[in-house]
Structure 1
Amino acid sequence: MRLYTLNMYESLTWHYAQNENWEKAYKTRIIVNQLATDYDAGNQSGKIQSLEREILNKRNDLELRNQKNIKFFLGTTSVIFIILLLVLFKLYKTNQEKRKLVENENNRIRAKLSDLMNKVNDKEITLSNYQLSDRQLEIIDLVKKGLTNKEIATQLYISENTVKYHLKIIYNTLGIDSRNSL
């Protein structure tokens, strides 16, 4: 609105000057100068441009800060992800090594067990090489079935001491020291 008022007084000044009414032209010129000073359009637009520049600079600074934060976040996340992958890879390799060691140990134990079973089978076969009586062979069979001395005595209709006596002879003959070795 001030701009229109200023323009109107400017036109009046020009009109009075054209009509050679110098006194009114002078008075309106003073009013125009006063209004122009108050309005100062160039200065007002300069302030607006200055504010726009300041806002633009702040926006650019904010965008740069955001880009730096995003780069930092992505970099940190990438490093953490790489470290996590390395740890998982190391755990995987360690687990593989442990599994191989367990498999090797398992195979070794199976082979040893197989050897022991073969030796036990060989001992069973070699029982015929020892000169054992029929009664002693019966007692060995009953011991292998897991019967106690008392149960063996009851089944064979002999005393428990006789069973113990036969077991002692069997142990000495076979060179073993317990019934679990039969």
Structure 2
Amino acid sequence: MNFNFTKYFSALLILFFIFINAKKIDLHSIEEEIIQYNREGKHKLSQKKLSDILLNGDLTKEEEGNILFLMATTYRSVNDYMMCIEYLNRSNSIARQLPPDNILRMKIDYEYAFVYFDNNDYEKAEEAMKRIASKNYVNAFPEDNSYILMQEGYLFMIKKKYNEAEKKYYEAMDIMENANTCNVPIVYVKLMNLYGKRKDIGKAEEAYKESMQISDSCNILKYKILASSEMEKIYKENNLFAKAYLIGSKLDSLRRLENQDVKISEMHIVDKALTEKEQIIKEESDIWKRTVVLIVLILLSVLIAYYFFRKNKKIKKDRLRMKEEIEQMKEELNQYSQNSSDEKILNPELDLLLNSNKLTDRQKDLLILLADGLSNKEIAEKLFISENTVKYHTKNIYNILDIKDRKDFFKKLRNN
């Protein structure tokens, strides 16, 4: 009887644990939190939260793909476009296994267009935008469509196709007015830039006035600064220095207000921390509840650990691998601003390559280690990144410098 009771009780606990872990995470809330962190410049908090979710494991394919996607958007927000694309590729490999109508596949396509555009890779951005157009997405985020149209307008503008650019901007405005009126000032700033190129100061001033009115009504300081900065630039480019001086004074006042907003925001953060601390103290007062929960969790953990150890060792290996990759990613983020500029470069050709404006600082670091003859594994250990990341960066370096492979690279160095 005791044996049967133990057996059934253990089975019940296992089913309970599986049920708890099978519950989906709230992707919508997580995405909103990550967007908020990134807007406030708290990118490390975003990275930590997403890393913790990945480390916890037990994610569905859709959940893992979405978390990797949010990691990509976090990297784009700090202008690390190569890492953004790497995480997008990882997310995309999972998304391709999901149903064709899964919204993640659409979000990834849009993000590719945005990151290529931000990285000034307009050719790939155009390809991504054409792919989006060909799929006729019914986008749950119409603002994304508005941003795509603004990108298309900008591409027309740099080709001096001003009429086509203006048409795209007004299409973007129609969508944005219905989706989020408070973001319409972004479109007006694009129009101001266009009118400045056409030397149509009157229209630029009208767009500036409309942008400021909406920004005032929505109380969005950053849009006021953006519009005023663009108008000041237009006045200066057209030798209207008196008007530039007046709007410059207004811009200085707005920037002072922006600093005040930062201080207020910091105060709100401290207040929130205090509130959370009070909540923790209140929760800790319920000692008996915590004790029961702790006992149940320990029992469940022991049973599940034994179950999965016997049934599936692969899960443990996969989690260990994921943990190592995440830890490497954390180290890379902490070491990102460090470089090897103190190393002495003796080879003239290598020195010439390192002075190229085509390479990023991170790529130059890797190039020095390549020239030292280090293997991919050794480079990964020195830079605190994975071997896959080393291969990815190396391939991009070779493409930029028109080098076939490592043998061709050393041949180029020896010839000088």
Please report the TM-score for the alignment, with normalisation by the length of structure 2. Answer: 0.14
Please report the TM-score for the alignment, with normalisation by the length of structure 1. Answer: 0.32
